[in-house]
Structure 1
Amino acid sequence: MSEGEGSPVQPFPVRIPFVEDLGLTLHRMADGEAELRVDIDERHHNSWAVAHGGVVMTLLDVAMAHAARSSPGGGPEGGPGVVTVEMKTSFMRPGEGQLKAVGKLLHRTATLAFCEGSIFNVDGQLCAHGTATFKYIRALPGQGRTLKSLQRR
């Protein structure tokens, strides 16, 4: 599962500096599904020299959020923004090497998206699985109650 294998890297529809810093790449985002990858290196490690749970959870969160944004009617920019309302993650095995996350939209309403995501290692073994609920929003009230819009590319 190298960079050249499967879907090519495509730009994220919105700018997420934290995701850029982690080195996550988007490979597919369409019809309620999304695929992301990351090459685990030392900056991603916990004290056991494997992927930190926070990196794994972020990978799941971003994959599921992009699946939620890619539902029909989302348009080329991926539809409205989403914020995570809740998320549950189960860890099955350590994440090492290149990890692939697949997010799927299970159900949506006008305001909520219910998703699941899985992370696989290069051997196709399941490393982690998560479920999450996202709220669709067009703007986010920030500090001082000013509205913050999505950082579209």
Structure 2
Amino acid sequence: MSSAEHYRALECMYAAAPINSFYKPIMTVIEGEAVIEIEAGPQHHHSGGGVHGSVYFKMLDDAAFFAANSLEPEVFVLTTSFTTYITRPVADGRMRAVGKVVNFNRSQFIAEAVVYDSEEREIGRGNGIFVRSKVKLVDAAGYAS
């Protein structure tokens, strides 16, 4: 499988995840980077009328995760830790998270992500550590699609 085919397979795997039927994200993957977009609305709100922090976390973790997995063609990676900073509230509109691998070695990947609102203002950021699992990508739902 070529790198480009691996990136498309990761995109298919992401789309196949049952949780994403709620968020309806769009993701693109290239080497060491992933971009995820969702259209935020009332279904993502906490009772104060803003987008819930879990949406920020999911977008940041997913973008960093897939940036890391873009560099690992054989197995599913796992998040071992992820720190999230919510820097600006948002109520609706497009949210776009960009994840990038900043360091990696034989045992782990370190990736960062930033999420932006529809006006391209930073609204959150995060960083995490990802490790290789024993789950083969070809066995993950949607990867071979």
Q: TM-score range by the shorter chain?
A: 0.7 to 0.9
| Structure 1 residue 20: Cα displacement | 2.9
Unaligned 5+ segments in structure 1 are 1-9, 141-148
Does residue 50 of the first structure (1) align with residue 17 of the second (2)? no
Task: Give the distance between the partners of 1:54 and 1:109, measured in 2 at CA.
Answer: 29
Alignment correspondent of 2:12: 13
What's the TM-score, normalizing by structure 1?
0.78
Higher helix share: 2
Q: Partner amino acid for 1:88? A: T
Alignment correspondent of 1:89: 84
Identity rate of aligned residues, in percent? 22
RMSD: 1.8
Whose relative contact order is higher, 1 or 2, with alpha carbons under 8 Å and at least 6 apart? 2
Q: Secondary structure at the match of 1:13?
A: helix
Does residue 108 of the first structure (1) align with residue 110 of the second (2)? no
Moved beyond 4 Å, runs of 4+: none
Alignment of 1:3-152 (within 5 A): 12-14=11-13, 15-26=16-27, 28-71=28-71, 74=73, 79-95=74-90, 96-139=92-135, 149-151=139-141, 152=143
Task: Give the distance between the partners of 2:57 and 2:64, measured in 1 at CA.
Answer: 11
Unaligned 5+ segments in structure 2 are 1-7
- In the alignment of these two chains, the number of paired residues is 130
| Structure 1 residue 21: Cα displacement | 2.0
Q: Secondary structure at the match of 1:123?
A: coil
Q: Partner amino acid for 2:33? A: E
What's the TM-score, normalizing by structure 2?
0.82
| Structure 1 residue 24: Cα displacement | 1.5
